[in-house]
Amino acid sequence: MSSFGYNNRILMVNLSSGEIGLEHPGDAFYRRYVGGANLGAYYLLKNWKKGIGALDPENTIVFAASPLTGTPVPGFSRHSVVSVSPLTGTIVDSEAGGYFGPELKKAGYDAVVITGKAKKPVYLAILDDKVELKSAENIWGRVTKEAEMGIRKDLKEDKAIVTQIGPAGENLVSFACIVNNLKHFNGRGGLGAVMGSKNLKAIAVRGSKKVNVFNEELLREKVKSFAGKFKDNPFNNLLNRLGTAGVTTLQNTDGQLPTKNFQTGVFSKAENLSGEKIHETIFHRAEACYACSVRCKMTVSNETEGFELDPAYGGPEYEGISALGPYTEIGDLLTVAKANEMCNKYGLDAVSMGSIAAFAMECYEKGLIKKEEAEGIELVFGNNEALIQLIKAVKERKGIGNLLADGIRKAAEKMGKEAEKLAVHVKGMDFAAHDPRAKVSFGLAYAVQPIGPDHIGHFGDPGLSPDGFDNVPDQLNSFGFYDTHSPDDLDLGKAAFFYYGQMINSFHDVFDICTFTSVPGGTWELSDILELIKAITGWNYSAWELMKLGERRVNMLKVFNVLNGIGAEEDRLPPRMFEPFQSGPRKGAKIEKEALEKTIKAYYQVAGWDSSGVPGKAKLIELGLGWLSERLEKKE
């Protein structure tokens, strides 16, 4: 069997010893694990032993592409980073678009598996077959733009693709992120801190090879068809016109824009932060990930003194806008855009940063954080300057920032029971900007997703509502979904609906497909995905096998958590979700705790897990994961 789509070469890097080697897993391995999240989870589980924490030198971090990555197909630009999260203690896989994954494939590698800790700061340079660890001492402490420029100068490669951490990762902020090309993020879960703990500043890649595909003619035809029809797709058309910020006003109108630390779902200044307002005021240009014609990335610029905005850092997207804006009741666009740029410069997850800021503001409002503890930062909702000051304090781990830099769960635990009631998180990870009281399947998703509250780990019940995008119901029919469901219902039927939707989105993370371009809401339909996989790899995939790949991922993640002592007791929502909305069109809406608990139990049954959420032996063997069943039995 020829290796189409993948290189059969995985870089193995030990930072402690400086050794660099190669593994060639073979065709059978790629057919079972493919790439992306599954490849990363495999190597993490293979190397991990009980007791190894996220910031321990023995921890493994994996950067993995898939056989589809780097082909000239819209939506196939992504790569996964997999490790243990310092924020949650769970396994976490985080996907990013941009250019790093395609460049890694062009250099001839499918993944980089990194263990150990360097004695001094280093970066990994991959220039086709030349791979070496180089000193990063002169760029340690630099913001991301300066570090990227320094690495390119050092390598004499102006077009090297750099994925890196900023000062927040170096300072081990628990929600530090990884960024490539300054504007594409492996954002959630604190993977930037894992790199920082290893003294690994960056990975720089430049490749000159071409990804080998099975049927170039068919691939060209499919790419051409996407260009001809993506603007007729309502979701992709919206992204093309306004970026993800295009949904800000829609969320607010429907009463589901998380505001004031999730106390309500409406924000009076939402229009100031909309995609339309960005285009009218600070819009610079639209950009795209590798080979994507949707171009949903907005960059912004501004020359107002004190609020200069550098388009090199991209621009705020919906999640960052919501977290830094409505969460904190800040409605000034320049402040939100500047705060977002600061997160990008320092390597902070904007969602977690906004969440922890909103939490701190409510604690301050209720007297749980005293003025003297805030050290001059007036942590009042709506205070523009307080947000800017707090970002700097967190990045530097100074004053109140040191407490908050450990993440919302640990900060709340240190502050006491009253603060814990205000902390909106699951498993230690803050919520994304989608409120389960408005979309109840998100309540189930946030509770049971192995990595924490992942808002794109399923496709959401609004897709099956009568008001969803017109193309969605037909696409979902092909997966066996025939009935519409109200987003407000939480019943046993939702368990199956959620589980199979979770498997669909999960195989996207295995193949590193952008869910914005794909089934059920994007331009690529299921039949297209199957044809594209065949054109690239030569493999005759079925929808059933795609679902099994997604199921394999979820079970691998779940097994890791169980082995690490994270069980069903963590599959729960925070107190705020059982409180009704205080205002807006959805005033009074809340999650019914008893209904949620019943649905979680039903979800375990549908998944083939026991009543404690532990994957059953038969299920793991069915998925070709018998080796993990043995580890569960031995509790290794």
Instruction: Kindly report the backbone phi and psi dihedral angles of residue 429, in degrees, each rounded to the nearest multiple of 5, phi listed first.
Output: -100, 135
pLDDT of residue 143: 98
- Alpha carbon separation from 186 to 193, 378, 578, 581 (Å, rounded): 12, 31, 30, 31
pLDDT of 229 strictly over 70 = yes
pLDDT of residue 582: 87
Higher pLDDT, 439 or 617: 617
Q: What CA–CA distance (Å, rounded) separates 577 from 437?
A: 7
Confidence of residue 309 (pLDDT cuts 50, 70, 90): very high
pLDDT of residue 465: 54
Q: Are 229 and 523 in contact (CB under 8 A)?
A: yes
Burial class (CB in 10 A: 0-12, 13-18, 19+), 217: exposed
Confidence of residue 536 (pLDDT cuts 50, 70, 90): very high
Residues carrying CATH 1.10.569.10, the chain? 245-421
Instruction: Kindly report the backbone phi and psi dihedral angles of residue 361, in degrees, each rounded to the nearest multiple of 5, phi listed first.
Output: -65, -40
Confidence of residue 495 (pLDDT cuts 50, 70, 90): confident
Q: Are 518 and 456 in contact (CB under 8 A)?
A: no
Q: What is the pLDDT of residues 271-293, one digit of tens each?
A: 999 999 999 999 999 999 999 99
Q: Give the domain 245-421 fold.
A: 1.10.569
pLDDT of residue 473: 63
pLDDT of residue 83: 98
**% of the chain surpassing 70 pLDDT:** 96
What is the average pLDDT across 492-498?
Answer: 83
DSSP labels, 239-280: HHHH-GGGGHHHHHHTT-S-BTTTTBS--TTGGGGSHHHHHH
Instruction: Kindly report the backbone phi and psi dihedral angles of residue 14, in degrees, each rounded to the nearest multiple of 5, phi listed first.
Output: -110, 105
Q: Three-state DSSP class for 604?
A: helix
Q: What is the pLDDT of residues 420-474, one digit of tens each?
A: 999 999 999 999 999 999 988 899 999 999 999 998 888 776 555 545 555 566 6
Cβ-based neighbour number of residue 28 at 10 Å: 9
Q: In this structure, what token pair is assigned to residue 475? A: 């696409």
Q: Three-state DSSP class for 19?
A: coil
Q: What is the pLDDT of residues 319-366, one digit of tens each?
A: 999 999 999 999 999 999 999 999 999 999 999 999 999 999 999 999
Q: Mean pLDDT across the chain, nearest whole number? A: 95
What is the average pLDDT across 160-175?
Answer: 98
Give Dmax over CA atoms of the chain in angstroms. 67
pLDDT of 494 strictly over 90 = no
Confidence of residue 546 (pLDDT cuts 50, 70, 90): very high
Helix (H) or strand (E) holding 217: helix 216-229
pLDDT of residue 363: 98
Task: List residues bridging with 430 in a β-sheet.
Answer: 425
Burial class (CB in 10 A: 0-12, 13-18, 19+), 174: buried
Q: Are 87 and 566 in contact (CB under 8 A)?
A: no
Higher pLDDT, 2 or 326: 326
Instruction: Kindly report the backbone phi and psi dihedral angles of residue 276, in degrees, each rounded to the nearest multiple of 5, phi listed first.
Output: -65, -45
What is the average pLDDT across 361-389?
Answer: 97
DSSP labels, 310-346: -GGG----HHHHHHHTGGGT---HHHHHHHHHHHHHH
User: What pTM did the predictor assign?
Assistant: 0.97
Listed residue (219, 286, 227, 226) closest to 70, CA to CA: 219
Dihedral sign, Cα of residue 369, residue 370, residue 374, residue 377: positive
pLDDT of residue 1: 41
Confidence of residue 509 (pLDDT cuts 50, 70, 90): very high
DSSP labels, 95-134: EE-SSHHHHHHHTT-SEEEEES--SS-EEEEEETTEEEEE
Q: Taking the mean position of all CA atoms in its chain, how far away is CA 510?
A: 13
Which residues does 294 contact at the CB level (< 8 Å), separation at least 6? 74, 75, 230, 236, 239, 240, 288, 516, 517
What is the average pLDDT across 572-599?
Answer: 95
Q: Which of the following CATH numbers is that of domain 10-206: 2.60.40.10, 3.40.50.970, 3.60.9.10, 3.40.50.620?
A: 3.60.9.10
Residues carrying CATH 1.10.599.10, the chain? 440-634
What is the average pLDDT across 256-269?
Answer: 97
Q: Taking the mean position of all CA atoms in its chain, how far away is CA 24?
A: 28
First to last CA, the chain: 35
CATH match of 440-634 with 1.10.287.110: no
Angle at alpha carbon of residue 208, lines to 31 and 530, rounded to 5°: 30
Cβ-based neighbour number of residue 535 at 10 Å: 24
Listed residue (30, 44, 40) closest to 1, CA to CA: 30
Listed residue (369, 364, 363, 481) closest to 423, CA to CA: 363
Amino acid occupying residue 61: I
**What is the DSSP code (8-state) at residue 570?**
G
Instruction: Kindly report the backbone phi and psi dihedral angles of residue 256, in degrees, each rounded to the nearest multiple of 5, phi listed first.
Output: -130, 35
pLDDT of residue 501: 87
Which residues does 484 contact at the CB level (< 8 Å), separation at least 6? 464, 465, 466, 473
pLDDT of residue 457: 84
Going by their DSSP bridges, the two strands 122-127 and 200-206 should be labelled as parallel
Burial class (CB in 10 A: 0-12, 13-18, 19+), 482: exposed
pLDDT of residue 493: 79
Q: Three-state DSSP class for 294?
A: coil
Confidence of residue 484 (pLDDT cuts 50, 70, 90): low
Of the listed ranges 82-86, 139-143, 176-180, 582-586, the least confidently predicted one is 582-586
Compute the CA torsion angle 566, 46, 44, 512 (nearest 10 deg): -110
